[in-house]
A and B are shown apart, each in its own frame.
Chain A
Amino acid sequence: MERSDLEIIANDIRIQIIRMLTEAGSGHPGGSLSCTDILTALYFGGVLDYDAADPDRADRDRFILSKGHAAPALYAVLAKAGYFPEEDLMGLRKLGSSLQGHPDSNRVPGVEVSTGSLGQGLSIASGICAGLRLAGLTSNVFVLLGDGECQEGQVWEAAMFAAHQKLDNLVAIVDHNGLQIDGDIRLVCNPEDFDEKFKAFGWDVLSVDGHNIDELVRVLNQAKNQKAGKPIAIIADTVKGKGVSFMENQASWHGKAPDAEQGAQALAELGAERA
């Protein structure tokens, strides 16, 4: 089947993620690959209103990567979007590079706020939504959470606040890959059912196949345009390690970089022209 333009972009992002992590020798492939299609839809599917040449434009839409360990995916996307040169990507996790192991907003244009300590992005996004409303701006805020991350109590403090404040400029996307470092999220400490939990907190909830980019674009736009006095959660069903056969659905690839051989194999699977 012919790949769409967005699928080609997503594949390029995956190739960059593998290259960066192989070069860095550490990092988080599983959760970076699971959210690649979501980020591709947001940044290249016409959902997020941004301007790489003017990253601080007041009325831009915001994206917050609450699951900060997926930094390689965000960096690859931001570079492709023009926030900084793609050559910089290979500096990931190295001394002297602006690309820290987790996103640092003081170093990287396009990163709205530093993340890495889990559970904080939804609160920050809610504050931004409230601030945009105060300023009379209609911009939207998207925040990406890990499903394991939703074990953090602060996520639900923020969920309560966002609904109470009727923040309908807020869209939370849960990267529902089902795995965390210690294994299956349902076995570690079950945070399910996301759909029912968000609804119980007063949110509207949408579901989507997190690897169907056309569907992602459609659902993200639907969430963005729906103004019903409620924040919206999108539960995106994903596969941890998506796109690399030996990483797929393996919790062990949460926070482990491929070695040179594994990297080459992954790149071959992704059809990269060179390792």
Chain B
Amino acid sequence: MVTLASKEAREVKKATRAAFGKTLIELASEGIPVVGVDADLSSSTTLAAFASSSPENAKRFFNCGIAEQNMIGVASGLALTGNVAFTGSFAVFGTGRVYDQIRNTVCYSNLNVKITPTHAGISVGPDGGSHQMLEDIALMRVLPGMRVLVPADYAAARSAIRLAALTPGPIYVRMGRANVPCVYEDGVDLEIGKAYKIREGGDVTIVACGVEIREALLAADALAEEGIEAEVIDAFSVKPLDSETILTSAAKTGCVVTAEEHELIGGLGSAVCELLATDQPCICECVGVRDRFGKSGNFEELLGYFGLDWKAIVEAVKKALARKGLC
């Protein structure tokens, strides 16, 4: 069982990316042979904090300049010499631009390389559609052998980086730029392949990941005021997906709503629908971005604009309940 953050702690907002460099420092001090490889975005990814933490860690950081393809190759070579290699850059470049390098070198060779870019989704806000990566979960999920972790908050991100360091083979950790409220207690240990029930309810199951956990919890609060009890599940491990936790909840509530800061095609919603359709057919509504690119704006505005905020989840829940015949 994981412990959730206290009410006071929930008020504290931190970005998931802030856990990246700090956790690498922690791992290095424990003797884990981590290395960081970035492509000119190390202050944004926080790998710079790792590099500047000690002369030894400075030697364990490699800046490739604006050359992401080489970043993946260099990380692969470092992994081949016994290191746990973490890559940087923004998610749009660190997964999409280097998809072939990740596929053919990292995954096909099954190397101990961690794909850990930051600024995923619309959290990069004003930079606009060119920088808002909404297809990364789909791209990484489809790769044979790749595990996909989407931390909801700082503590989950720290846990994801630790898991990535301690679990051999390719792992993608999706981190964002936006400050998000704490969900879990500091120091929480999450697991690959696990989803976490963070709110109990019997009427509908909301399966969310990343920043959508905050929206899902707000939606659950709003629904409770109308007498609708939502169960909220954090699909921290999008691949492998925790089918048991999701199916158990779906069996109880009879309808599911997914929520992700990502394109609907190929993301968490797709993964949950694939699971439900093949194992336990059930009503399912999906909240996410619908076949389009991002747009400039601030993060909070964009959540509303793209229909990713708690209101959109409430609407989707009502639609699902209507289909279930209860509303």
Q: Is the CB of A124 within 8 A of B76?
A: yes
Comparing A86-94, A110-118, A255-263, the segment that makes contact with chain B is A110-118
Q: Is the CB of B69 within 8 A of A130?
A: no
Known: A131-B80, A157-B64, A157-B67. A114 touches B108 (CB 8 A): yes
B residues contacting the other copy or chain, number (CB 8 A): 32
User: At the interface, is chain A mostly helix, strand, loop or mixed?
Assistant: helix
User: For the complex, is B190 an interface residue (Cβ under 8 Å from A)?
Assistant: no
User: For the complex, is B104 an interface residue (Cβ under 8 Å from A)?
Assistant: yes
User: For the complex, is B72 an interface residue (Cβ under 8 Å from A)?
Assistant: yes
Which residues in B have their C-beta under 8 angstroms from that of A128?
77-78, 80-81
Instruction: Provide the bound-state CA to CA distance between A117 and B76, in Å.
Output: 14
Per-residue B-contact encoding for A130-161, CB less than 8 Å = 1, 0 else = 11101100000000000000000110011011
Number of A-B contacts defined by CB within 8 Å:
113
Known: A113-B105, A134-B59. A161 touches B67 (CB 8 A): yes
Known: A123-B77, A134-B83. A154 touches B70 (CB 8 A): yes
Q: Is the CB of A124 within 8 A of B69?
A: no
Q: Is the CB of A129 within 8 A of B77?
A: yes
Instruction: Provide the bound-state CA to CA distance between A134 and B56, in Å.
Output: 10
Per-residue A-contact encoding for B72-116, CB less than 8 Å = 1, 0 else = 111111111111010000000000000011011100111100000
Known: A128-B77, A131-B78, A134-B83. A123 touches B109 (CB 8 A): no
Q: Is the CB of A134 within 8 A of B73?
A: no
User: For the complex, is B65 an interface residue (Cβ under 8 Å from A)?
Assistant: yes
Which residues in B have their C-beta under 8 angstroms from that of A114?
104-105, 108-109
Instruction: Provide the bound-state CA to CA distance between A98 and B76, in Å.
Output: 22
Instruction: Provide the bound-state CA to CA distance between A135 and B77, in Å.
Output: 13
Which residues in B have their C-beta under 8 angstroms from that of A160?
65, 67, 70
User: For the complex, is B60 an interface residue (Cβ under 8 Å from A)?
Assistant: yes
User: For the complex, is B154 an interface residue (Cβ under 8 Å from A)?
Assistant: no
A residues contacting the other copy or chain, number (CB 8 A): 34
Known: A130-B62, A131-B82, A160-B67. A124 touches B104 (CB 8 A): no
Instruction: Provide the bound-state CA to CA distance between A112 and B72, in Å.
Output: 16
Instruction: Provide the bound-state CA to CA distance between A114 and B105, in Å.
Output: 6
Instruction: Provide the bound-state CA to CA distance between A121 and B70, in Å.
Output: 10
Which residues in A have their C-beta under 8 angstroms from that of B103?
117
**A-to-B contact residues, CB < 8 Å:** 58, 104-106, 112-117, 119-132, 134-135, 153-154, 157-158, 160-161, 164-165
Sorted nearest first, the 8 A-B pairs with minimum C-beta distance are A127-B77, A123-B73, A131-B81, A157-B70, A157-B67, A128-B77, A127-B74, A117-B104
**B-to-A contact residues, CB < 8 Å:** 35, 37, 59-60, 62, 64-65, 67, 69-70, 72-83, 85, 100-101, 103-105, 108-111
